[in-house]
Structure 1
Amino acid sequence: MIDAGKRNVLGVKVNVVDYEAAVDRIIQAAKNKQGLSVSALAVHGVMTGVLDDTHRHRLNRFDLICPDGQPVRWALNAMHKARLRDRVYGPNLTLFTCERAAKEGLPIYLYGSRMEVLNAFAENLRSRYPGLQIAGAQPSRFRQVTAEEKQEIVQQIKDSGAAITLVGLGCPRQEVWAYEYREALSMPLLAVGAAFDFHAGLLPQAPKMWQDLGLEWLFRLIQEPKRLWKRYILLNPHYVWLLSQQMLGLRRFDPEATQAPQQELRYG
């Protein structure tokens, strides 16, 4: 088990952590009814923080930021001697968490995406883990919600009896959601994005060899070129360029150089 704290990747604090330690922290927080904001960031997720001082403030106050992408794991290993043998891939983290939740009798809640995705996701999870309790599911409203609506969402999740909430709103909206709801919900909030579509059987995952080589982005780009081309064609080279500057000591990325949000965005 590896849980060696946070390290600076372009000013974003990423945990040196493996699956076992990440799942253990989630389950312990769920048992103790403690708030825990969790995300698994690949290059795109890290870059959302690099390019936005306010969002970097949010990310750097997460309890657990897992190295989702291989290039993020490679950065931790190269700059901080992390010696991580594998990334902590959000869709896999989702399954490992659900497996433990089923064994521990901890109900989960699904928030985000569309109702047809949630139904398929829930059905597949129950099939894979027969003991898993799904306390409830609520689709995204695909807009900002009012303060009153936010309280309604909070109350629905609390009333469901859930111990863990999986959030699938897409990056960076799901990270904003987890940041803004953490204090209101005394449980782990996992921003796991594409895991909803993957495990609902609606979106194919890259072959393992592609994943191991850090080429999952290329597979996804081929699948959804119109939606993802800017994310990968522009951000990936930018990430490599900035990372080379940090590694060579040519530029310092200060994790504390952030701007606190002036108001809630209240994504729903």
Structure 2
Amino acid sequence: MPTAKSINGDPNFSEVPVAHLLSENYAAERRKLVGADASFDLRPGIIPGFEAQHDLTTKMLGVNSQTGAVYEPTMAHLSEKRGDTVHIDVIDRDGNMVSVTPSGGWLQSSPTVPGLGFCLNSRAQMFWLKPGLPTSLAPGKRPRTTLTPSLGLYEGRPTLAFGTPGGDQQEQWQLSFFLHHIHHQLNLQAAIDQPLFHTAHFPSSFYPRSREPGSLIAEENFGRDVLEALARKGHKLTITDPWTIGRLTAARRDADGLMRAAATPRLMQAYAVGR
């Protein structure tokens, strides 16, 4: 789902070891780190040839510090309805499809440049001024981005368009939806309607790049037993009202031409329309 650009900066400027990151062996190594209880540590993978990049980045981020700072975008901004990123999935009668997440003007989270009086674009703030990193500022270079509009193929045929606004939560919400739909075989709307969660454990892509170690934000409709079990495992739970996390939409076209669409009932307006 994430592109090379979203993983590690502009691939026209940086080598991105996508094959290694998506390999079975690397997944097996990372899977061994999953334990029975919540971990408050952040342990980025170390890839051969990229050790210096790992060390420099983790030193700058202070990945094992507990900052307690505000994570951006916050759940508060999802309910204030002051305007936000949007997401659109479209499929036409011939099977052409597009998934797009227009964004970049979210001024509420863009720091003002001292002495100049204007804000950075929401995505330009993801550059680093420290040289030597894949996301270091350079002329003509695209910034790393959280945007993850997604297309799914089935038997080589474009089948599914889906996505959501939501900053660093996009991949988390979309993965939940994708697994519910593909592996648990829920229809589009049922998959979107399932209770949602996300974590702010990872360093934010947005200024000031803070993190909340061990955090888990979950909807109340997971049920008391599930939420209490998560708390016993050590997660720092924030329980939200039902239907308050995630703003997914999706559209699908089957091999016989039948088209389906679904949209979340959560928070801002979302519509599934066909004609």
TM-score normalized by the length of structure 1:
0.25
Choose between structure 1 and 2 for higher RCO, CA contacts under 8 A separated by at least 6 residues.
1
TM-score normalized by the length of structure 2:
0.25
More helix by share: 1
